[in-house]
Amino acid sequence: MPDPFDSILYKYVYCTLSSTDDVACVGSGLFGGGLLPGGLEWLAYVLTAVTIVAVLINAILGGVLMMIWGERRLLGRFQGRTGPNRWGPFGLLTPVADAVKTMFKEDVMPTVSDRLVFTAAPILMLFPALLIYAVLPFGAGTWLADINVALLFIIAIGGANVLAIVAAALGSGNRYAMFSAMRAVAMLISYEIPLVISLIGVLMLSGSLSLVAIVNAQTLPFFIVQPLGFFVFLVASMAELNRTPFDVAEAESEIVAGYMTDYSSMKFGLFFLSEFAATIATSGVITAVFLGGWHGFDPIPSQIWFIGKMVAVLAVIVWIRASWPRLRIDQIMNFAWKALFELTLINLVVSGILLLIWPSPSTPELWYMAGVNWVVFLASIYIFGKVLGPKHDPVAAGNIQSGITLSDSDAPAIPAGGGD
Amino acid sequence: MIYGLGLAKGMGVTLKTLLGPSFTVQYPDRRVGIMGAAKAAGISTPGLIFKRPVKALRAVLGFERIAVMPTQAARFRGNEFTWYEDRCTGCASCAKYCPLGIIKIVTAPGGINMQEGESYAIETFDIDTGRCMFCALCVEACPYDALHMGSEFERGNYVRMDLVLTKEDLIAAPKRPSTWFRPQMEESAYSPFAETLEDMKQAGRHETPSVEQLTKRWVEDRRTDESVED
Amino acid sequence: MPLKTEPITINVGPQHPSTHGVFRMRVTFDGEEVIDVEPIFGYLHRGSEKLAESRTYTQIVTLTDRMDYVASMTNNMSFILSVEKLAGIVPPPRGVWLRMIAAELQRIASHLVATGFFLQDLGALGTPLILMMRERETILELFERLCGARITNSYMRPGGVFMDAPDDFWPALNRFLSDMPHRIDEYEDLISGNEIVAARCDGVAVVDSQTLIDASVTGPMLRASGIDWDLRHRQPYEYYNRVKFNRPLATTSDNYARYIVRIHEMRESLGIIKQCLEQIEPGPVRPETVPALIRPPAGDSYVGTECPKGELGFYLVSDGGVAPYRCKVRAPSLINLTLLREMLIGDKLADLFVTFGSIDINMGEVDR
């Protein structure tokens, strides 16, 4: 079990409150420490936990608001528009106004709905999204909990939100919602597998399931060493998050709003919130596992590095959303089982062989591994594109035969009235 | 060809758009940065920072806004009408031509100071713009150039009856006729967004340009176009 | 034992994000697969044809604006040509050229809207649509210079156009003409080569050309199946026999072909406008002799024109009065829609709207 005092957050708050004589607390803690009298260490422990969780949840809410603003601004710019700029400086208060509006809207409950399930669904949706943050290391020593099975925890929690989607669909008794739930379940089952297997390469390199250990193991960011794993993980987590081009579960041009169709007011708000919270959390996981976590160069604090990398991942996700159309559900299934699953297996085998050659790789050896892996990555993408891509090029198949140029001798056969 | 190249190309296009200018037309006011604020105030950017630091700070924080009017063509058929009472004979050509029948004209004998010897006074001249589709056929029908399309469009209100333009409204309204079907205004380079034509004499009467005039204008246009291209 | 599934019926529309207006489809699904479609329309019926019987010929022009409201100019032109044939009015050349320029600009605008919403139905989050709306905005600004309105133009009159183009129209048009080819290249970069678009559209909703001909489908939908039928070429009206243009044809007759034909037609329209600018000469735009109230001799007339969506024709019957005795509209949107059921059955739910968008209908014209 890792020492809780590794977490700076825990150390500062606990040592400020508790009058413990623990060695780790000497010299740390504000106001000289020991605000609570001795013998109340248990209370200090509880208060510390409550404080950190409260700070974290509020930070998440603030982050979600910022992300809503950022996504809308960025989407606007990708489309040549300005984006929201009316409320507050640069439109920063737009999501706040949206949130207030959402809270004061009428909460419509469809008559055919199952009240209990209908109400429980948004809450069920929010919890997994928030729980992921418990294990995310936001910076050197800045985490809520450093558990030794963090990756397993994230994968287990991340799969839980489909339950909420099914509950929402069943509860609202809407047929569009049923379509959405069917799609979401099918997609989750398919994409969970490549998602998990793509992480095994990282596990083999780092030798630990703890996110902190994985970050510490990244002398070279793992997206360089494990390009195939990074690619599959990025794609699969975008599918889990229902982001374009895999947003079939809430495809607004097909099934209106999917499982959210019948929701209004703050229930809809919770769905919205949890979706964005999950997106931020996933980008955090990607940052921690593949982009070197909080590592960076020195004058900039590690927390800033982590958040900067997270924002970069989010920007790429928004960029993809702005550029690409949506895939069809059967194509998504095909992609998961015929492409991503095999790619992860290739990654697994290649990583295993490379680790046999260099059992505990040093940094230059990591570079050699990266070289091999990149060659494998590009080659397999090329081969898979050849094998699974469309058999004929639509540009060539639906080719434009320019009709015969009309000349003066090609006189009109049937003259019409009007013009002449 | 490697699979995924088209996807990358598409992302390139969006990236290009991201770096390019925004084509949003902001209305009724525009948020400006510090350079835009300085430009609007007519001084240089350092000048703004030193002379009016509060304004500069507001601009940096994104609070500074300047009012804008969308650019409109001179022929723009606005949400209102411009009417010169002195020119109107009450002939009701406009009312007859209106596809929707929303112009109501009541005349009485014995008017004074009428044009061309008419002796009808106009008692009522109502246009129900709430039902109007602004096809401007009434303007086309007016034989005396008394009725023009207006250029105003910000006429939203909460009561339908307020949308009916009565004779008094028409007289009191600022006269900004659109140049729609009024070539004489176009030839005099009049812009409804720069000036008003309070006097009916300023509005002029339309005389069909001769073929020579048209030819001259057209050839000159072409010549300037070509010289620009060269 | 095969798994027994139960068909599920959904009312898609009239209030659905991608039914392009107030269209309704009663669709029966087996899982994700469409097994039956029943199109239901008429929610936007305004009785335009009946209204026309009580209006003068000039007043009907305003009604045609509101039929296909993303292609008002071509609607105007179609109606005007029919009236001119009925009344024997000969428009002066400059009026005809102006009408052709306006109609081709409108064709570009309409194709931009069609392609943009087609991509929107594919799930592209607005980027192609908004980029295309940007160019359409330029065209609408040109129309505003030309006739003071952006959508409901009412620009044309029996005998020509109501007024010559203002002086500032021509430089703006030249700017647009030099700018637009790059924009179309940009769309092609964004869409045409995109593997997702190809995967979604290639081989979806294929209709063979004989079925299309039997259903009297016209326009880009027909040309996407390789049939060289363009009324501008087959039955030239206006001065289309004095300009040279290619008719882009695709062979596969699927959603991708319908999209790519529209993109290429935009390029051809730009070429037509350039040729119009070369040939246009000064002169009157409307004959002096046309009266305000046209009283055509008793008889009938029909002129089919190649509108962005297909053949639009106005069949007018006159009894010698100021208003037509009967005005029948051959609306391409309605007739192209008749094949919807055949195209959709067997496809997936997601392709339902893509196919619907690829037909490019306008509810104002379907219901009239």
Tens digit of pLDDT for each residue in C48-98?
888 888 888 888 888 888 888 888 889 999 998 998 888 888 888 888 889
pLDDT for the residue B228: 46
Q: Which of B18, B34, B57, B61 to mutate to test the interface with A (most CBs of A within 10 A)?
A: B18
Tens digit of pLDDT for each residue in C265-316?
888 889 889 888 888 888 788 887 777 788 888 888 998 898 888 888 899 9
Task: Report d(CA A131, CA A135) in Å as an integer.
Answer: 8
A245 upstream amide cis, omega within 30 of 0: yes
* B101 burial via Cβ count (<10 Å: 0-12, 13-18, 19+): exposed
What number is the average pLDDT over the span C17-42? 84
Closest CB from B76, B135, B186 relative to C144: B76
CB contact under 8 A, C170 and B178: no
Nearest alpha carbon to residue A193 among A380, A310, A333, A384: A333
**What is the value of ipTM here, to two decimals?**
0.83
What is the nearest CA distance from A249 to chain C, expressed in angstroms?
Answer: 11
Residues with Cβ within 8 Å of A101's Cβ and at least 6 positions away in sequence, in order, are: none
pLDDT for the residue A392: 57
Task: Report d(CA A126, CA A133) in Å as an integer.
Answer: 12
The full set of domain ranges for chain A reads 4-42, 105-389
What is the nearest CA distance from A96 to chain C, expressed in angstroms?
Answer: 23
Q: What is the pLDDT along chain A (420 residues), one digit of tens a residue?
A: 456 666 777 777 777 777 666 666 666 666 666 666 767 777 777 888 888 888 888 888 888 888 889 988 888 888 888 888 888 778 888 888 888 888 888 888 888 888 888 888 888 888 888 888 888 888 777 777 778 888 888 888 877 888 888 888 888 888 888 888 888 888 888 888 888 888 888 888 888 888 888 888 887 888 888 888 888 888 888 888 888 788 887 877 778 888 888 888 888 888 888 888 888 988 988 888 888 878 777 777 878 888 888 899 999 888 888 888 888 888 888 888 888 888 888 888 888 888 888 877 777 877 888 888 888 888 888 888 777 766 656 555 545 555 444 433 343 343 333 333
Q: DSSP strand E in C100-190: where? A: 156-157, 160-161
pLDDT for the residue A23: 63
Residue of B nearest to C153 (CA): B135
Which chain C residues have a beta carbon less than 8 Å from that of B10? 189-191, 193-194
Measured between CB atoms, does C179 come within 8 Å of chain B?
Answer: no
CB contact under 8 A, C194 and A256: no
CB contact under 8 A, A79 and C241: no
Alpha-carbon dihedral of residues A73, B21, B16, A63, nearest 10 degrees?
A: -10
The dotted CATH code for B81-203 is: 3.30.70.3270
CB contact under 8 A, B77 and C190: no
CB contact under 8 A, C244 and A389: no
pLDDT for the residue A417: 37
What is the nearest CA distance from C193 to chain B, expressed in angstroms?
Answer: 5
What is the nearest CA distance from A320 to chain B, expressed in angstroms?
Answer: 7
Which chain A residues have a beta carbon less than 8 Å from that of B11? 319-320, 323-324
Task: Report d(CA B140, CA B149) in Å as an integer.
Answer: 10
Measured between CB atoms, does A170 come within 8 Å of chain C?
Answer: no
Most confident range (mean pLDDT) of B205-219, C108-122, C190-204 is C108-122
Q: Which three-class secondary structure state does DSSP give residue A211? A: helix
Q: Name chain A's partners: 3 or more CB pairs within 8 A.
A: B, C
CB of C350 closer than 8 Å to CB of C10: no
CA angle B122, B124, B130 (to 5 degrees): 140
Q: And the tokens for A402?
A: 């320019």
Residues with Cβ within 8 Å of A366's Cβ and at least 6 positions away in sequence, in order, are: A219, A220, A225
Tens digit of pLDDT for each residue in B33-78?
777 777 777 777 777 778 877 777 777 777 778 888 777 888 888 8
Measured between CB atoms, does A390 come within 8 Å of chain B?
Answer: no
Where do you find CATH 3.30.70.3270 in chain B? 81-203
Size of interface A-B (CB pairs under 8 A): 59
What is the nearest CA distance from B92 to chain C, expressed in angstroms?
Answer: 14
Residue A294: CA count within 13 A, CB half-sphere: 19
Q: Is the per-residue pLDDT at C25 higher than 60?
A: yes
The full set of domain ranges for chain C reads 45-367
In chain B, which stretches have pLDDT less than 50?
227-230
Please report how the helices A363-388 and A341-357 are oriented relative to each other, as an axis angle in degrees rounded to 10.
150
DSSP state of B229: H
pLDDT for the residue A404: 44
Nearest alpha carbon to residue A169 among A266, A276, A256: A256
Which chain A residues have a beta carbon less than 8 Å from that of B31? 85-86, 90
Q: What is the DSSP string of A11-69?
A: HHHHHHH-----GGGTT-SGGGS--SPTT-HHHHHHHHHHHHHHHHHHHHHHHHHHHHH
Q: Which of C29, C125, C183 to mutate to test the interface with A (most CBs of A within 10 A)?
A: C125
Tens digit of pLDDT for each residue in C117-145?
888 888 887 888 888 888 898 999 899 88
CB contact under 8 A, A253 and C239: no
Closest CB from C121, C124, C248 relative to A402: C248
Measured between CB atoms, does B99 come within 8 Å of chain A?
Answer: no
Q: Which three-class secondary structure state does DSSP give residue B181? A: coil
Fold adopted by C45-367: Cytochrome-c3 Hydrogenase; chain B (1.10.645)
pLDDT for the residue C295: 85
What is the nearest CA distance from B49 to chain C, expressed in angstroms?
Answer: 35
What is the nearest CA distance from A331 to chain C, expressed in angstroms?
Answer: 8
Please report how the helices A8-17 and A41-78 are oriented relative to each other, as an axis angle in degrees rounded to 10.
140
Residues with Cβ within 8 Å of A398's Cβ and at least 6 positions away in sequence, in order, are: C202, C224, C250, C251, C252, C254, C256, C257, C260
Q: Where are the alpha helices (DSSP H) in A132-226?
A: 150-158, 161-172, 175-206, 211-217, 222-225
Nearest alpha carbon to residue A346 among A184, A209, A190, A227: A227
Task: Report d(CA A28, CA B120) in Å as an integer.
Answer: 97
Measured between CB atoms, does B62 come within 8 Å of chain A?
Answer: yes
What number is the average pLDDT over the span C186-200? 83
Residue B146 CB coordination number (10 Å): 24
Which chain B residues have a beta carbon less than 8 Å from that of C93? none
Please report how the helices C93-122 and C169-187 are oriented relative to each other, as an axis angle in degrees rounded to 10.
30
Task: Report d(CA A124, CA A163) in Å as an integer.
Answer: 8
Residue C75 CB coordination number (10 Å): 30
